[in-house]
Structure 1
Amino acid sequence: MVDAILGLQWGDEGKGKIVDYFAPQYDVIARFQGGPNAGHTLYVGGKKVVLHQIPSGAFHENTLNLIGNGVVLDPVTLRKECDTVASFGVDVRKNLFISQRTHLILPTHRALDKASEISKGNDKIGSTLKGIGPAYMDKTGRNGIRVGDLLDKSFTTSYIKIRLKHQRLLDNYNFQEDISQWEEEFFEAIDFLRSLNIVNGEYFINDKISQGKKVLAEGAQGSMLDIDFGTFPFVTSSSTTTSGICSGLGIAPQKIRDVMGVTKAYCTRVGSGPFPTELFDETGEELRKLGNEFGATTGRPRRCGWIDLVALKFACMINGVNKVIMTKADVLDNFKKLEVCTSYEVDGKESKEVPFQMTRHSIKPVLKEFDGWNCDTTQMTKAAELPEKMTQYVKFINEYIGANVSHISNGPGREQIIDVNK
């Protein structure tokens, strides 16, 4: 049995905390896509921890964690994270496993990412410059190096070959930056990576399923950043939707049971790209301030706006979401009026569909106003305690998107989650 937790917006929905909350109910947490551009924030013993590569179940002693083949792995980032996790007394060699088929991010991938983004000028897509796009390009171009290759004596030869190929591309960009320090760190991290549990990931995960173990598939980024269904070309390089679970872990579709989608009570986006409900006024600034909306990976200020139900319903549809977890509901505690987007005005015509190419149209959100609840919800622990106006807000969202909010997060703490059904 496999359940999934994935993002329904443009990432940054708070998936790390949600996975951490549900982790004790599962035997295995498995990351199925993305790279170190993910920033899953947890609070462990009152301390903030941001995980970029290691699954968010790392701090649960009896939970195994798998980095699946759909992930692209930066050994340097992984090593630093392992050191952080170990500082909390967690033995990563006991509960962390890495698929042989996982592709590696090389120093030259990072250089190519930076050179490509600089060359785009005003047309930048907002890359995190972690080398993720170039690594996925090598994967689909059948040139990549995988974790399993580390165990082969020809690894160094393979690395030199792909490095020379990348250098020719960098020369075309006239990229002059010295990456020798990056390479030194990379090879030190490679030696560390060899000491971890490198497994045949698809057999590992399917064996656990056949044993009756409970598996939670953890997504990174969000559905609106999906390579196929997101706001292309301002998207990530992997499949962030439910379909990515099958290709990113090697499991069959019928093994997936619950699909839990995570959404904020409003919307945010980092970097460039369409954002129909974005607010450029004092309300947007207030959302950013109250929600502490700065990227966990990049530190960049997030663009903020009202919740977009057109995009949210679309995300629920393509993922088959049957449970929705709403995060940061408490950020709306101080607003007298709230708005939600119920349709788009696309080139002057009203529509409830996400356009194929948002950047080619003039899109204005059609908004419905709600009264705010104007009270502190952060100390509430039961659904019955929630203010009536919040309940009405959530009910409207449930009816619009065709999926029910099952949990509401009302603060950053691990315990600040309300089960709506209790």
Structure 2
Amino acid sequence: MNICVVGLQWGDEGKGKVVDLLGGSADFVVRYSGGANAGHTVIRNDTEDPFALHLLPSGVLREGVVSVIANGVVVDADTLLGEIERLEERQIIVDQNLKISGRAHLVMDYHKKQDQLSETALGPAKLGTTIRGIGPCYADKVTRTTALRVADLLDVDRMYERLERIVDQKNRYFTVLYGDQQPLQVDEIFAKCRRWAQKLKPFITDTTALLHAAWAQGKNILFEGAQGTLLDLDHGTFPFVTSSNSSAGGLSSMSGLPARAVDSFLGVAKAYSTRVGAGPFPTEQDNEIGDYIRTRGHEYGTTTGRPRRCGWFDAVSVGYSLRIGGIDQVTLQHLDTLCGLKRLKVCTAYYDGGGKLDFFPAERAILERIECEYETLDGFDEDIGKVRDFNRLPAPAQNYVKRLEEILRVPITMIGVGPSREQMILRRN
């Protein structure tokens, strides 16, 4: 069975844990979008430290599973090699079971510098990027003439002339636009490329052909979406979005497999809402409720360490994500974080100027001024970390899940009650 796991909110929903759990029955795990700006944490059990991954698919933690970094990913080779080294220090060897698409694009030093200069110049209007160079790399991908791909590392000597032209162009751009007087050195960047080529060549392949062969052979393929639908370049809360299609719709163009290759689209949502950085957040609780959720849920960014903004579950935005993604099942994560709250609230409708909205608005101004209609449910105090049967959850916790299921009109098939892969309630196979 081929499954696509996609976030339904602004990322950080717990996709890594879900992919790690489902990866036990997968032959291939495919990361198809985003870059090192998308971090996820996997906790296999209570006796070992968590694994923080940014580029490597979660499948690397499963022996015998082929992990694929597909066409749509932008690859920060330094970050990738660092992750591989840290795994090997923990006796997890990344061998020929890692495959990197030659069509994926390379994040270069000048992309990171451009990201930093741009955010600084924007001042209070900054987008709140991770400064990982993701946006500038995708911009170069569209520009084409200043882009480099992973496949270019296969003949690294031919890169120098192109790199010389690109670095000169970037330096002039940084000086004219930002007044930067610290030019990047092409020889230093080229030396990096040589090192990347030496270490990454064994992993580079045509992943589109690889995945089509796997599909034809009936292999189980698990697609690992990065970030969340509300950060999607086309469907998210623009301009406070990422630079790729992080919704389910990005799978085809960014992996090379058609959507009909997927048997199920599984959406992941937290039992509440979080967001990192700037942008509209209708249900945000900038108060003791938000502080409680942040502290209890350890809501700090895997990539940046920044405290996440926290709020109530937003059924309007999640419902929107379900519709545009064709999601047929949901896993609800971090239910345990809500333990200790006497009342739980769910946003069921948006109002603007007294009128009820029947859609998720595209306009930033509307999203920033809308009022939320909340439905209030009873909270629960019991520790649910060891519960594995839905019927053994406290009645208020059961009612909360059932009510979300009724509002969203999509079955909630899995419920996370803790950080480790074992702390999951399976309601359906």
User: Is TM-score (shorter-chain normalized) higher than 0.5?
Assistant: yes
Alpha-carbon offset, residue 186 of structure 1:
3.5
Alpha-carbon offset, residue 49 of structure 1:
1.2
Kept in 1, the 8 Å contact 2:171–2:183? The answer is no
Any idea what SS the aligned residue of 1:120 has?
helix
Alpha-carbon offset, residue 119 of structure 1:
1.1
2:52 equivalent to 1:50: yes
Structure 1, 178-187 or 69-78: larger mean CA deviation: 178-187
- 251, 261, 278: which is aligned to 2:257? 251
Give the Cα separation in 2 of the matches to 1:60 and 1:416. Answer: 18
Give the Cα separation in 1 of the matches to 2:419 and 2:218. Answer: 32
2:427 equivalent to 1:420: yes
Kept in 2, the 8 Å contact 1:306–1:340? The answer is yes
RMSD over aligned Cα, in angstroms? 1.7
Kept in 2, the 8 Å contact 1:406–1:419? The answer is yes
Give the Cα separation in 2 of the matches to 1:159 and 1:43. Answer: 40
Match of 2:22 in 1: 22
Any idea what SS the aligned residue of 1:6 has?
strand
Structure 1, 345-354 or 182-191: larger mean CA deviation: 182-191
2:208 equivalent to 1:202: yes
1:93 counterpart letter in structure 2: D
Give the Cα separation in 2 of the matches to 1:200 and 1:351. Answer: 46
Give the Cα separation in 2 of the matches to 1:417 and 1:54. Answer: 23
Match of 2:396 in 1: 389
TM-score (norm 2): 0.95
Rate the CA distance shift 1:354–1:177 in 2: closer, same or farther, 3 A.
farther
Cα deviation per residue 1:65-91 (whole Å; 9 max; x = unaligned)?
Answer: 000010000000001001012123232
Alpha-carbon offset, residue 189 of structure 1:
4.6
Any idea what SS the aligned residue of 1:342 has?
strand
Give the Cα separation in 1 of the matches to 2:107 and 2:3. Answer: 28
Rate the CA distance shift 1:154–1:182 in 2: closer, same or farther, 3 A.
closer
Any idea what SS the aligned residue of 1:261 has?
strand
Alpha-carbon offset, residue 112 of structure 1:
0.5
Kept in 2, the 8 Å contact 1:107–1:186? The answer is no
Any idea what SS the aligned residue of 2:90 has?
coil
Kept in 1, the 8 Å contact 2:336–2:418? The answer is yes
Match of 2:40 in 1: 40
Alpha-carbon offset, residue 266 of structure 1:
0.2
Give the Cα separation in 2 of the matches to 1:164 and 1:2. Answer: 45
Any idea what SS the aligned residue of 2:196 has?
helix
- 334, 340, 348: which is aligned to 1:342? 348
Give the Cα separation in 1 of the matches to 2:79 and 2:213. Answer: 29
Alpha-carbon offset, residue 242 of structure 1:
1.4
Match of 1:170 in 2: 174
Match of 2:298 in 1: 292
Kept in 1, the 8 Å contact 2:352–2:366? The answer is no
Match of 1:233 in 2: 239
Kept in 2, the 8 Å contact 1:310–1:352? The answer is no
Give the Cα separation in 2 of the matches to 1:182 and 1:338. Answer: 54
Kept in 2, the 8 Å contact 1:96–1:196? The answer is no
2:316 equivalent to 1:313: no
Rate the CA distance shift 1:375–1:179 in 2: closer, same or farther, 3 A.
farther
Give the Cα separation in 2 of the matches to 1:257 and 1:71. Answer: 23
Match of 1:105 in 2: 107
- 134, 145, 149: which is aligned to 1:146? 149
TM-score (norm 1): 0.96
Any idea what SS the aligned residue of 1:47 has?
coil
2:288 equivalent to 1:282: yes
2:38 counterpart letter in structure 1: A
Give the Cα separation in 2 of the matches to 1:404 and 1:91. Answer: 37
Any idea what SS the aligned residue of 2:164 has?
helix
Could you tell me the percent identity over the aligned residues?
38
Structure 2: unaligned runs, 5 residues or longer = none
Give the Cα separation in 2 of the matches to 1:307 and 1:76. Answer: 37
Rate the CA distance shift 1:195–1:261 in 2: closer, same or farther, 3 A.
same
Structure 1, 104-113 or 180-189: larger mean CA deviation: 180-189
